[in-house]
Structures are given as C-alpha cells and as structure tokens.
Amino acid sequence: MGYLFPFPRAVKRSQDFGANPGWGPNPPGGHNGDDWAVPVGTPVRAAGDGEVVFAGQFDDTYADNFGWNLMYGGLMVVLNMNGATAPYFEYGHNSELRVKTGQRVKRGQIIALSGNTDGGTNVSTGPHCHVGCLPFNFNLNTNTYGRVNPRLFMTDYWEDEANGSASLGPAGDIKETTTDPQETEVSDAVDRIIAEIRNIAAPGESGKRNAGPLYDLVQNVETINAALLPGEAGVRHAGAVYAALAALDPAQIAAAVTAAVPAETAKQVAALLGGK
C-alpha cells in the first residue's frame, strides 16, 4: 500500500515535478513538487499516518526552516510519515490549516483547505496546492533542494478507500472497517520489502543505526563519478581526475610515449596526440 494523493482521481496536475527548470522560484533541476489545480477551499488529505512537523507560514530565514522552506509556500503543512525510513510530504499555498505542529494525523484526514497563499511574494499564479516530498535521508544540496517526485510514494486515492475499506467519521476522523486478511498480508509484505530495499542503501546515523551494506558502494560510485565529471558553469567545479587530465600537455605525453615504446608505435600514438 502506497501513500495517498491529496485529491480525488479527477483532479489534474498543473505543473509536474521537474518541469520548467529555473523558471520563477523553480531550482535548476525543475519544479520541486507537483502542483494540483484545485479551487480555493478544496479539502487536502494526509498521505498517511504520521506527525505534523510544521503547520503555518515560514519566514525568509531559510537556513533555520525545515527543508529550507521560505514564505513562498504560504500556509503550509509538513508531515512526517510513520516509520524509520518514511518520507516527508509538504502541502503549500493553503487557505486554511486544520492541524497544528506536533499533532498526530491519520491517513486520509483533512489537514488543510487549498488556496492561493504565497506569503505576499506573488509567485503563485492561481489557486492550487503544491505537494513536495523529501525522502527520509534527504540531502538539500541537490538541484531540486533534496526533493524527489512525490509520485514515487503517492499511488493511492482516498475515494477508493472511502468506498471500500474505510469511512469518514466526524471532523474528518477515520473509521476503519474490516478488510480481506489475505489482501492485508500481501500489502504488508510489499511494504516490508520496500522498506528493506531502502534500508540497505541508507546512511548511518550516530546512536541510531549503522549504514546499510550498499551505502558505501553507492558513495564510492558517486565519488568516482564526481572525480571524472567536467565542470559546469554555476553548477559544479570539474572533478579532480578530469581537471588533472585536462591540464596535461599532449605534446609531453607524446614525448613520453616515444621514449617508452617501439618507434613505429610511438609515432602512431604521437600523431594521435598531436606530437611531432
């Protein structure tokens, strides 16, 4: 079982994750969430059981704010889903908040009403809800400020559950009804498999857990890749290996080859490297 989309299946997205790189407030990697085109006052539902990390409007001191959020998001709710490796979800531009920081929420609970708020920055071009997603071990120093596509985690619709295995009680509370035990068992097994896959590549955290067995391998691959990459203006410096190779003089290489290999072979290599 995945996490819930905030709106019914019929609601369309107006800007997808990764779209329009560098446009307006979008980072170099593109839009760092999904925008859902909904009228002001549309109920926004929680993706799953969890805790409200933040409910309100961020200020402009981004370094002190969770996820480096700013006032651009207007009235926001940030949820941390239950589980050691569960993601965070951000819901922005709301007109009214129905939860408070530190509050526990249930899957499908109405946490806000959508809107068009943006902290007075005028970045919002019309009524919508911005939904962002941070993985549990997020790194804000990426070209999407650590965000990943919410649809990697959001796969389910509340309407399917409300018509089947759950129903709404007063004030948006959830009343669970019976479900097929076999269906629940399969769903739980899938959740455990996904959690285990995430765990084996997870970094260590002092006093909590050791790094997963694949974490060091992933880090080594990233380190090698970074060393080999060329520079890109405004994005990164050239990797150490790339920079060292770029600094070499082809004529010097040709001369060294000439001294080290048979004359005919050296001549061929020297010609390729631009030597005399």
Domain boundary (178, 202, 219) is at: 178
| Residue 42's pLDDT band (cuts 50, 70, 90) | very high
pLDDT band, residue 167 (cuts 50/70/90)? very low
Token reading at 195: 């959690």
One domain for residues 150 and 246: no
Domain harbouring 128, CATH code = 2.70.70.10
- Give the model's confidence band at 174: pLDDT under 50 very low, under 70 low, under 90 confident, else very high: very low
DSSP string, 1-48: --EEPSS-TTPPEEE-TT-STTSTT--TT--SSEEE---TT-EEE-SS
Tell me if residue 72 falls in helix, strand or coil.
helix
Report CA torsion sign: 209, 69, 28, 6.
positive
Grade residue 47 by pLDDT with cuts at 50, 70 and 90.
Answer: very high
pLDDT for res 72: 85
DSSP sequence for 206-269 = TTTBPPPTTHHHHHHHHHHHHHHPPPBTTTBPPPHHHHHHHHS-HHHHHHHHHHHS-HHHHHHH
Contacts of 145 (CB under 8 A, 6+ apart): 27, 32, 67, 68
The reply to whether 100 and 151 lie within a common domain is: yes
Assigned domain for 185 exists? no
For residue 214, being part of any structural domain is answered with yes
Number of domains comprising the chain: 2
When mean pLDDT is compared over 164-173, 212-221, 246-255, the highest value belongs to 246-255
Each residue's pLDDT tens digit, 30-39: 999 999 999 9
**Contact (Cβ atoms closer than 8 angstroms) between residue 58 and residue 108:** no
173 and 272 belong to one structural domain:
no
218 with 174, same domain: the answer is no
Average pLDDT, stretch 14-40? 91
Do 225 and 173 fall into the same domain? Answer: no
Mean of pLDDT over the chain: 79
- What does the pLDDT read at residue 178? 44
Q: What is the DSSP letter of 127?
A: S
Claim to verify: residue 72 and residue 156 sit in the same structural domain:
yes
Reported as a single tens digit per residue, the pLDDT across 56-93 is 999 888 788 898 888 888 999 999 999 989 999 999 99
CA dist., res. 169 & res. 175, Å (int): 6
Residue numbers of the domain that contains 141: 3-178
Instruction: Among 178, 202, 228, give the residue marking a domain's end.
Output: 178
Share of the chain above pLDDT 70, in %: 66
Does 73 reside within a domain?
Answer: yes
Flag whether 201 is in a domain.
Answer: no
Tell me how far apart the alpha carbons of residues 221 and 204 are, in angstroms, rounded to a whole number.
17
Same domain, yes or no: 37 and 110: yes
Tens digits of residue pLDDT in 218-267? 666 666 666 667 777 666 677 776 677 677 776 776 677 666 667 777 67
Q: Are residues 161 and 230 in the same domain?
A: no
Whole-number pLDDT of residue 173: 46
Indicate whether 70 and 170 sit together in one domain. Answer: yes
Instruction: Please say if the pLDDT value at position 130 is more than 80.
Output: yes
Q: Examine residue 38 and state whether it is found in any structural domain, yes or no.
A: yes
**In a shared domain, residues 17 and 82:** yes
Same domain, 159 and 236: no
The C-alpha angle with vertex 220 and arms to 229 and 247, in degrees rounded to 5, equals: 30
pTM of the model: 0.60
Task: Lowest mean pLDDT of 14-28, 94-108, 186-200, 245-259, name the range.
Answer: 186-200
Residue 127 resides in a domain: yes
Q: Are residues 103 and 56 in the same domain?
A: yes
